[in-house]
Amino acid sequence: MKLKVVLASAAVVAIAVVAFAFTSKKATQTYYYISGTDNQRLEPNHTTESDLRDRTITSANFTDASNWTLTQQSFNQTSDYSKFIGSISFDEESVADGGADGQLTLQEALNSVMTQYSNLSPNAMHASFTEGTAVINIVAADAKH
């Protein structure tokens, strides 16, 4: 009888371990807009400033994954979303699927934020956006960096 209990307990533990191994593990990742990159301003219609960092974000620059890094950049956070882009955070995954599972790839997150920004009239950035069931948090910087 004891052997049956031990075997049953071992089976339950094995099932729990396997189930845990295959559950989706969410890992929140923060990407920083690389200091020195052009088009950092979140407020629209800044298109003629001599310092290109002072110009309004563009889809070409904002959605280019090479303009983002996991390495923290030096900027001061602000709650004024007419200032400059600092970083974005979201639950990251490696395979693009539209965010239905609450996770996004970097490219999906960038495209989503840019689409949301562009669809608002006038263009405007907010502290967070949702794509599918995935939440993307945006941090604004108080100055170009």
Q: pLDDT of 49-108, one tens digit each?
A: 999 999 999 999 999 999 999 999 999 999 999 999 999 999 999 999 988 999 999 999
| Measured CA distances, 93 to 2, 69, 122 (Å) | 44, 16, 32
Is pLDDT at 21 greater than 50 in this prediction? no
User: Are 44 and 120 spatial neighbours (Cβ–Cβ below 8 Å)?
Assistant: no
Nearest-angstrom CA–CA distance, 133 and 145:
31
State pTM to two decimals. Answer: 0.82
Nearest-angstrom CA–CA distance, 103 and 22:
16
User: Are 56 and 48 spatial neighbours (Cβ–Cβ below 8 Å)?
Assistant: no
Q: Tell me, what's the pLDDT at 109?
A: 98
Nearest-angstrom CA–CA distance, 30 and 50:
30
